[in-house]
Amino acid sequence: MRLVDGKYQVQGLDLVSICEEFGTPLYVYNADKIISQIQRLKQAFQGTNMKLKYACKALTNLNILKLIKQQGVELDVVSIEEAQLGILAGYKPEEILFTPNGVAFDEIKLAVELGLTVNIDNISILEQFGHHYGNSVPCCIRINPHIVAGGNSKIQVGHIDSKFGISVHQLPHIRRVVEANKIKVIGLHMHSGSDILESEVFLRAAEVLFNATEGFEDLEFVDLGSGFKVAYREGDITTNIEELGQEMAVAFNNFCKRYGKDLELWFEPGKFLVSESGVLLTKANVIKHTPSAVFVGVDSGLNHLVRPMMYDSYHEIVNLSNPEGTKRIYNVVGYICETDTFGCDRKINEVREGDILAMKNAGAYGYSMSSNYNSRLRPPEVLIYNHEAKLIRERETLDDLVRHQVDIFSTPKTKKEKGKKEVEKVS
């Protein structure tokens, strides 16, 4: 999003005009930003035999999956449904790593039937996998390295109390189960949390995983998950990917020598690929002056972007309609009957009723975490691709809200009436 001649543009297209065309609220993604983020990662890790798996829970629109596939990036999914979406988008099952948590063995069996690589995250499932498949189906094992990393406690998943992965302290147990059932372990995985700042912490966790490979002789890859941080506010410190890439190349290539085989190094970025590509565009419905603050109420809320409320995340808010306006202090809030504050005490160019406000960094965990709370409809999604704004998901309608509801109180239609309906349809 760039300010050119008083207009905020993406790929030369004016965002306010896009709102006029598609209405608000509206999610808009910039394909170029996704592509450049992928290229940046590839560049940074060119010293290693690296493979990228997009963690698609961040944003699952089929067009986004296709765009990312075009760039040679494979897929990491956390549910069978995400895998099915991936396959619909054209991914081959063997390009998909299935990393679920707390699912029943039945879902694991479905994943094997689909042809996915399963990433096993507890010993009970590992045992069932071994009993069921022996050495006939290779798998990956998710290790919890117990390195504390991550922006806040809700997104730290590698600490000792975390529900994710099998503790690195339980390696002897894992090895016993693997040997007893001759399980073919082709990958070891970790994902220690979102928002890793220091490459040193990341490297330390990687070393824990490298050391854990001892005794696993069939490995083809080591998967370090994600945690690449992006800037949410101006001046935010972000992961220095280039520096991490160089240091990782040394550490990983040394490890491969020790292991005695050139393995692949996998990463699973979600947020890094799509966060900055997206904005949620909303309209200022009302300006409300109270004795303590000035509120801007917009035509969206925690139903469309829950991160500020769920994680206390900061999303920069920009008034697209009045870029030259005097900056004033606002609380920007949603229209949901619940406290749903997008931003407190924000300095924003003067907001007038009807102005378009953009919430930045809305590409990751925006639409994918949205809901119909307050019976509000989900917004459409637009992808700006080759300098064109393309609708990639329609705005929901009332039909979507009632589609799966079963009305047990309306009088059942008589056979005759039903027949009449059919006839009407045919004619």
Ligand X SMILES: *Cc1c(COP(=O)(O)O)cnc(C)c1O
Annotated binding site for substrate: which residue ranges? 307, 311, 338, 365
Question: What separation in angstroms does the CA of 302 have from each of 23, 113, 157, 256, 298?
Answer: 19, 37, 24, 46, 11
Q: Which amino acid is at 409?
A: F
Q: Does 109 bind ligand X (CB under 6 A)?
A: no
Task: Quote the Cα angle for 165-168-169, to 5°.
Answer: 125
Q: Does 343 bind ligand X (CB under 6 A)?
A: no
Closest CA to 40 of 230, 303, 241: 241
Q: Does 69 bind ligand X (CB under 6 A)?
A: no
Is-cis flag, bond preceding 25, omega within 30?
yes
Contact segment (CB under 6 A) with ligand X among 20-28, 59-67, 222-230, 245-253 equals 222-230
Residue closer to ligand X by CB (options 190, 389) is: 190
Residue closer to ligand X by CB (options 43, 372) is: 43
> Considering only residues 61, 226, 282, 331, which one is a binding residue for ligand X as defined by CB under 6 A?
226
Residues between 360 and 399 with contacts to ligand X, criterion CB under 6 A: 364
CA distance 315 to 312: 9
Question: What separation in angstroms does the CA of 321 have from each of 261, 358, 382?
Answer: 57, 10, 19
Q: Does 78 bind ligand X (CB under 6 A)?
A: yes
Contact segment (CB under 6 A) with ligand X among 37-45, 79-87, 249-257, 265-273 equals 265-273
DSSP code of residue 409: S
SS3 at position 332? strand
Q: How far is the CB of 111 from ligand X (least distance, A)?
A: 14
Task: Quote the Cα angle for 247-252-253, to 5°.
Answer: 105
Q: Does 241 bind ligand X (CB under 6 A)?
A: no
Alpha helices in 345-426 (DSSP H): 398-402, 415-426
Contact segment (CB under 6 A) with ligand X among 50-58, 84-92, 366-374, 376-384 equals 50-58
Q: Does residue 381 contact residue 64 with C-beta atoms inside 8 Å? A: no
Q: Does 301 bind ligand X (CB under 6 A)?
A: no
Q: Does 76 bind ligand X (CB under 6 A)?
A: yes
- Residue 7 pairs in a beta bridge with 4
Closest CA to 25 of 284, 264, 208, 275: 284
Q: Does residue 172 contact residue 139 with C-beta atoms inside 8 Å? A: no
Residue closer to ligand X by CB (options 97, 183) is: 97
Q: How far is the CB of 417 from ligand X (least distance, A)?
A: 50
Q: Does residue 294 contact residue 350 with C-beta atoms inside 8 Å? A: no
SS3 at position 303? coil
Q: How far is the CB of 46 from ligand X (least distance, A)?
A: 20
Q: Does 203 bind ligand X (CB under 6 A)?
A: no
CA distance 355 to 379: 18
Contacts with ligand X by CB under 6 A: the residue count is 18
Contact segment (CB under 6 A) with ligand X among 9-17, 19-27, 201-209, 219-227 equals 219-227
Q: Residue of minimal CB distance from ligand X?
A: 270
Q: Does 270 bind ligand X (CB under 6 A)?
A: yes
> Considering only residues 7, 42, 57, 66, which one is a binding residue for ligand X as defined by CB under 6 A?
57
Residue 337 appears among annotated catalytic residues: yes
Q: Does 276 bind ligand X (CB under 6 A)?
A: no
**Which residues contribute to the annotated binding site for pyridoxal 5'-phosphate?**
227, 365
Residue closer to ligand X by CB (options 24, 144) is: 144
Contacts of 306 (CB under 8 A, 6+ apart): 365, 369, 370, 371
Q: Which helix (H) or strand (E) holds 5?
A: none
Contact segment (CB under 6 A) with ligand X among 7-15, 264-272, 329-337, 339-347 equals 264-272
> Considering only residues 74, 82, 95, 268, which one is a binding residue for ligand X as defined by CB under 6 A?
268
Residue closer to ligand X by CB (options 98, 335) is: 98
Contacts of 201 (CB under 8 A, 6+ apart): 147, 149
Residue in 19, 56, 139, 337 annotated catalytic: 337
Residues in contact with ligand X by CB under 6 A are: 55, 57-58, 76, 78, 99, 191, 194, 225-228, 268-272, 364
| Active site positions, annotated | 337
